Structures are given as structure tokens and as C-alpha cells.
Amino acid sequence: MKSLFAEFKKGIHIENPTFALLLGLCPTLAVSNNIRNGLGMGIAATFVLLGSNIIISSIRKLIPTKIRIPCYIVVIATFVTIVELLLKAYFPVLDRSLGIFVPLIVVNCIILGRAEAFASKNTVTYSALDALGMGIGFMLALLIISSIREFLGSGTLLGFQIIQGFQPAIIMVLAPGALMTLGLLIGFNNWLKRR
Amino acid sequence: MLRFIMVLTAVCVVAALVLGGVNSITKPLIAAQKEKELNQALKDIMPEADRYDRKTFSGGDYYQCYKGKKAIGYTIPAIGEGYSGDIRMLVGIDNKGKITGIEVLSQAETPGLGARCIEIKHRENKPWFLEQFIGKSADSLQLKGIETITGATITSEAIVDGIRKYAVDFLKEIN
């Protein structure tokens, strides 16, 4: 049995959901245009991931294999709806800027992927650590991508102007900027791993 | 087979109960947030008024604004067809049909381009793009003479056209 820390650590670098597993790229590309959105999405997804991994691993022996996917989806959708309601009630500004991508966490393949690949086969403790590691890995990836894109595309970091007179490249906050940033970061990460 | 049905039903029942619980907690909070946002928006676009009476016209709800007992204008809803979805606005107009303020309630324009319609410049507290319309006639609003948003012609036009269309309809209806 692997150590608890290894289970947590793997999601952050070696099996990073964004840079290594290439899961959940749609929200990654869409909401990483500024840091606040990236961070908000990262926290929301981590909460859903943690909740669904804990519940799914604790009921894994009760659920027949044939209907496991619908059960997982119901559990995940429940957590996503909770997040959506909480965001609307307590962080309406963030809710408005994340928009449709909050309900779409339901179909974020990181979450169903971890439920299927990990939580359905492991104990609650391991699944919770796996969720935390993967969630933080996802959040860090979003943070890195969104920092680069916000700085180059809007000339700001977290909304604050960093360099006076810097002319931002609008392409960086648009879809091509997202794809280029992600591609280069994946390449960089692969190079790091290969050394 | 029966076991499948029972398990799925049980999962759904538990999920429904949990969601019902969360909803009953957040529902009043969400309603309060909406109310707060609306009141803030009304205050922003018609700062002189101290009372807002909700009324209805064909385009939706509008508010008649009073300062003391004097009716000083209206705030009307306006929707522009933006680059990615509707731009929902609240527009304040005085008795002469001149714009007193514009508030964007929701928009999904491209960040860095169209979304700059609500951009607030450093050391300012209102969006520079929308501020330009204050004092202009709502029912003949045009982009002419307005500093548009670079690379976001569709958004700029959507805002102007949306306001003009709703203002024309509204003024026709109440007069």
C-alpha cells in the first residue's frame, strides 16, 4: 500500500490532471482568462471532487457495477448544484463571471475520471487525499495558465496593473491564447519530467 | 434487477433531500442578493431619486423614480444582442428622455474585448464606456461621437441599439 502522502502528491505534479492526464481541458481553456476566474473554478472543482470522491468511496461496495456511472453522476451533480447555490448566495460576482462553467463541472472529466479510476476502488481516506491532490493540481494548473494569460492579455495580475504602458496582446485572453499557453506548458512539463 | 432500481432510487432520494435542504438555506440569501443588486443598480443610474415604484410595460418591469413627491424619471430594462448572448442592462432616463445612467446587469462578452464595456479605469469608479452616454437622448442614441471599445464593435453596437430600441418602445407606450 502506497503512503498517504504519495497519494496526495501525485495529482500535483506527476499525474497532474491538466498537464499530465489532460483531463478537464474545456473549463481549463475557457475560464483561465484571468486569475480570479481560474482560482474560483479551481476551488469549486476541488470542493466537488473532494465531496464526490468521499461519498463514492464510502458507498462503493453498495453500488452494483452495472449502474455505477448513473450513481456517480447523481452524486457529482448534487455537489455541483450545492456549489452553484452557495456561489449565488455568497459570491454573486464570481458566480456571474464563471457563468455556465459552474454547472458544467458536472461533466468535467477529472471528477468522473477520479470517481471511476480511484474512488470506486479505494478507501475513503485514500480517495479524499487523491481528490485533494488532484483538485490542488487542477487549481495550480489553472492559476499558472490564468496568470500568464491575464498578464500578457490584459496587462494585469488579479486586476492590478503591473507595468505602466505595457501594451497587452488581446489574443492571449481569447481561445488561441488559451491553446498556446496550455500547449507550451504541457511541453515544458514533459521536458521537466524527462530530464 | 430489483436491486439496481432500489440502489438508484435510494441514491436519488438522498440527493434530493440534501439539495432540498441546501436550497431552503440559500433561497432567501439568493433573493436578498438579487434585491441588493437591484437596489444598488437603481441608485447608481438614478442617484437623485429617493423612491422607486415598480411598474410594468410591454418590455418588462420599469421603475418610476421620485425625488420627494416629484417624478424625476424612469429606469427601464434594455437588452442588447451581444457577441455572445444577451447584454442585460438597466437604463435611467429623466423626464426629457436623457440618459442618467446605465448599469449592465449581465453580459457574457469576450474578456479583454467586449467585456471591457464594464471596464473601470484606474482611479475611476464608473465604466468609462457607459459614462459617455450620460446626458444623451435615449431614443435617438447612436455610436457617433462615442469612443468605442477597441475590437468590440458588435458589443458597442449591441449596447447602443438595445438601449435605443427599448427607450423608443417605452417612451411611445407611456406618452
- Confidence at residue A87, expressed as pLDDT on a 0 to 100 scale: 92
The reply to whether A153 touches chain B by the CB within 8 Å rule is yes
The reply to whether A80 touches chain B by the CB within 8 Å rule is no
A152 grid coordinates: 500578457
Of B19, B30, B112, the CB nearest to A153: B112
Is residue A195 in a domain? Answer: no
Residues of B within 8 A of A170 (CB-CB) are 112-113, 151
Give how many domains chain A has, as a whole number. 1
- Confidence at residue B6, expressed as pLDDT on a 0 to 100 scale: 93
| CA A59 to chain centroid | 24
Is residue A194 in a domain? Answer: no
Residue of B nearest to A164 (CA): B122
The reply to whether A90 touches chain B by the CB within 8 Å rule is yes
Closest Cα in chain A, distance from residue B4 (Å): 7
Is residue A193 in a domain? Answer: no
Tell me the residue range of the domain where A37 lies: 4-188
Exposed e or buried b per residue across B93-118, where buried means at least 16 C-beta atoms within 10 angstroms of its C-beta? bbeebbbbbbbbbebbbbbbbbbbbb
pTM of the model: 0.81
Residue of A nearest to B151 (CA): A170
Cβ distance B107 to B134 under 8 Å? no
Q: How many other C-beta atoms can be found within 10 angstroms of the C-beta atom of residue A110?
A: 26
Is residue A110 in a domain? Answer: yes
The reply to whether A96 touches chain B by the CB within 8 Å rule is yes
- Confidence at residue B143, expressed as pLDDT on a 0 to 100 scale: 87
- Confidence at residue B49, expressed as pLDDT on a 0 to 100 scale: 87
The series of mean pLDDT values per 10 residues for chain B, 175 residues long, is 92 96 95 90 88 86 90 92 91 92 87 81 82 90 86 92 93 85
CB contact under 8 A, A66 and B4: yes
Question: Which amino acid would we find at residue A47?
Answer: F
CB contact under 8 A, B22 and A85: yes
Is residue A94 in a domain? Answer: yes
- Confidence at residue A149, expressed as pLDDT on a 0 to 100 scale: 93
- Confidence at residue B38, expressed as pLDDT on a 0 to 100 scale: 87
pLDDT by residue, tens only, chain A of 195 residues: 568 888 888 888 888 888 988 988 888 888 888 898 899 899 999 999 999 999 999 999 999 999 999 999 999 999 999 999 999 999 988 887 787 788 888 888 899 999 999 999 999 999 999 999 999 999 999 999 999 999 998 888 887 888 888 888 888 888 899 999 999 999 999 998 888
Cβ distance B89 to B38 under 8 Å? no
Closest Cα in chain A, distance from residue B160 (Å): 23
The reply to whether A58 touches chain B by the CB within 8 Å rule is no
Residue of B nearest to A150 (CA): B112
CB contact under 8 A, B8 and A153: no
Q: How many other C-beta atoms can be found within 10 angstroms of the C-beta atom of residue B88?
A: 17
